[in-house]
A and B are shown apart, each in its own frame.
Chain A
Amino acid sequence: MDTRFDVELVSVSKRYGTTLAVDAISLRIPAASYCCLLGPSGCGKTTTLRMIAGHEAISAGDILIQGQNISELAPVRRGTAMMFQSYALFPHLNCLDNVAFSLKMRGVGKAERHAKAREFLGLVQMADFAQRLPAQLSGGQQQRVALARALIMRPKVLLLDEPLSALDPFLRIKVREELKRLQRELGITFVHVTHSQDEAMALADMMVVMQDGHIRQSGSPREVFEKPVSPFIAKFIGSHNVLSGPSGPIAIRADRCRLGVPGDGPFVSGRITAVEYQGAMVRVAMMTDLGPEAAALMPDRDFYADPVGPGDPATLVWAERDAHAMMEA
Chain B
Amino acid sequence: MIVGGPSKAGAVTERKPWTFYALAGVFCLYMAFLYGPMLVIYLLSFQGENGGVTFPMVGASTVWFQDIVKPGQMANIPVSFSRSMGLASVVSIITVVFAVAAGLGFRRRFPGSGVVFYLAVASLVMPSLLVGFGIGLGFQFLGWETSMFTSALGAQLTWTLPFGLFAMFAVVNRFNRSWEEAATDLGASAFQRLRHVTLPILLPGIIGVAMGAFTLSYDEYARTTLTIGTKNTLPLEIYALISSATSPTLFAIGTLTTGGSFLAIGVTLVLVLRMQKRRTAASLKVG
| A interface, CB within 8 angstroms of B | 53-55, 74-76, 81-82, 84-92, 101-102, 104-106, 133-136, 139, 142, 149-150, 153, 166
Q: Which residue of B lies closest to A92 (CB)?
A: B200
B179 at the interface (CB under 8 A from A): yes
Whether A91 lies near B279 (C-beta < 8 A) is yes
- Which residues of the partner chain A approach B188 to less than 8 Å between Cβ atoms? 101, 105
Of the listed residues A87, A91, A150, A166, the one surrounded by the most CB atoms of chain B closer than 10 A to its CB is A91
- Taking the closest CB of chain A, its distance from the CB of B279, in whole angstroms, is 4
List 19 contacting pairs A-B, 8 Å CB cutoff, sorted by A.
A54-B185, A76-B185, A82-B181, A85-B178, A86-B176, A86-B286, A86-B287, A88-B178, A88-B181, A89-B286, A91-B279, A102-B187, A105-B186, A105-B187, A134-B286, A135-B278, A139-B285, A149-B186, A166-B286
| In the complex, B280 has a CB within 8 A of chain A | yes
**Closest approach, in angstroms, between the C-beta of A72 and any C-beta of chain B?**
15
Which secondary structure dominates chain B's binding surface? Answer: helix
Residues of B bordering A, CB below 8 Å: 176, 178-179, 181-189, 192, 196-197, 200-201, 203, 275, 278-283, 285-287
Q: Once bound together, how far apart are the Cα atoms of A53 and B182, in whole Å?
A: 11
In the complex, the answer to whether A82 meets B185 with C-beta atoms within 8 Å is: yes
Complex formed: what's the CA distance from A90 to B176 in Å?
A: 10
- Complex Cα spacing A139 to B200, Å: 23
A271 CA to B167 CA in the complex, in Å?
62
CB distance from B237 to the nearest CB of A (A): 42
Chain B residues, CB < 8 A from A133: 278-279, 282
What residue of chain A has the Cβ atom nearest to residue B282's Cβ?
A135
| Of A53, A75, A84, A134, the contact of B282 (CB 8 Å cutoff) | A134
Indicate if the CB atoms of B192 and A105 lie closer than 8 Å. yes
- Among candidates A75, A86, A92, residue contacting B185 with C-beta atoms closer than 8 Å: A75
A90 to B279, CA, bound (A): 9
Q: Are B286 and A153 in contact (CB under 8 A)?
A: no
Residues of A within 8 A of B282 (CB): 89, 91, 133-135
Give the docked Cα–Cα distance between A75 and B189 (Å): 11
Bound complex: CA A76 to CA B187 (Å)? 5
Nearest CB of chain B from residue A207's CB, rounded to whole Å: 25
- In Å, the complex CA distance between A149 and B188 comes to 14
Counting chain A CB atoms within 10 Å of each CB, which of B178, B187, B275 scores highest?
A: B187
Query: Which of B181, B189, B192, B280 is the most central at the interface, judged by chain A CB atoms within 10 Å of its CB?
Result: B181
- Contact among A55, A74, A88 for B176, CB-based, below 8 A: A88
Q: B201 is contacted by which of A92, A135, A142 (Cβ under 8 Å)? A: A92
Q: Which residues of B contact A54 (CB under 8 A)?
A: 185
Knowing A75-B184, A135-B279 are in contact, say whether A87-B286 is a contact too (CB < 8 A). yes
Kindly list chain B residues whose C-beta atoms are within 8 Å of the C-beta of A84. 178, 181-182
A135 touches B186 (CB 8 A): no
Contact B200 A55 (CB under 8 A): no
CB distance from B203 to the nearest CB of A (A): 8
